[in-house]
Structure 1
């Protein structure tokens, strides 16, 4: 059911963008693109998240307003986080926090990113230690058979 609602929402946003592009109001176009980007990076479909990231990256140079840039960077960081690109997400959210250090959503996202990087690092260390243990055990077993 949620997937159907998400699809309808995305289609509605895409229709808004198409209609806005037919007009000459740049502000309306930008607002529609931001709504679509938001919907895409929050989608459960990885290809939608990638589309949202691409849209946001291509729109970064189009508006120099600090508030708009902050919003774009935040959404971009969310997209990278949802694609498990945690290091890139952290870089982007830090840029966002340079614009507005008190932006609570960005602060929360940064903590989530850092927690995830730490968790993945601990898991990586555990996997490496297990692999080393298996290799050492294999060598010990081979030596025991020889001797």
Structure 2
């Protein structure tokens, strides 16, 4: 019983905090990845460091970094050398879209990743985070609409009461 109550309170806390399991990245790591990318000597090193930099950018708490990461991934998507690399880039793009609030596009991208590898835990975790966020936003929207209707009905009732 205690375990169920604990999970209940944790889910309520996550609902209000908007918690997800997707990691964040700070500016120091991004700066290190940028240096690594600039110092890359071969094409293979460049591609590898580009993936690390893109990962760091889409996991940033700063919107301009996330947008930059999305642009880098989109620009490099056509140059993917393997289906695995394409899958990784699509996943990072899905994370970036999630971070910018484009949940429908993020869900499309993560669904594509899961078509390639249905049991990919990271993609499944992101899909759950997206669905939770969409459900939360829907509940908030319903609450706002209900409040607006209540205020409207209350205003009409008050106006009718004054006329009598």
Alpha-carbon distance, 1:59 to partner? 1.1
- CA RMSD, aligned part only? 1.4
Unaligned runs of 5+ in 2: 1-24
Which fold has the larger relative contact order, with Cα–Cα distance below 8 Å and residues 6 or more apart in sequence? 2
**Structure 2 length-normalised TM:** 0.80
* 2:26 equivalent in structure 1: 6
Runs of 4+ in 1 over 3 A off after TM superposition: none
Give the whole-Å Cα distance in 1 for the aligned partners of 2:150 and 2:28.
51
Alpha-carbon distance, 1:8 to partner? 2.2
Give the whole-Å Cα distance in 2 for the aligned partners of 1:86 and 1:18.
32
Alpha-carbon distance, 1:6 to partner? 2.4
* 2:65 equivalent in structure 1: 48
Query: Cα deviations across residues 58-101 of structure 1 (Å, max 9, x unaligned)?
Result: 11111141110111111111111122221111011011111111
* Alignment match of 1:57 (pick from 60, 69, 74): 74
**Structure 1 length-normalised TM:** 0.89
Q: How many residue pairs are counted as aligned between the two chains? A: 140
Query: Cα deviations across residues 22-70 of structure 1 (Å, max 9, x unaligned)?
Result: x3x2221111110000111111111111111111111111114111011
* Alignment match of 2:46 (pick from 29, 34, 58): 29
* 2:39 equivalent in structure 1: 19
Unaligned runs of 5+ in 1: none
* 2:163 equivalent in structure 1: 146
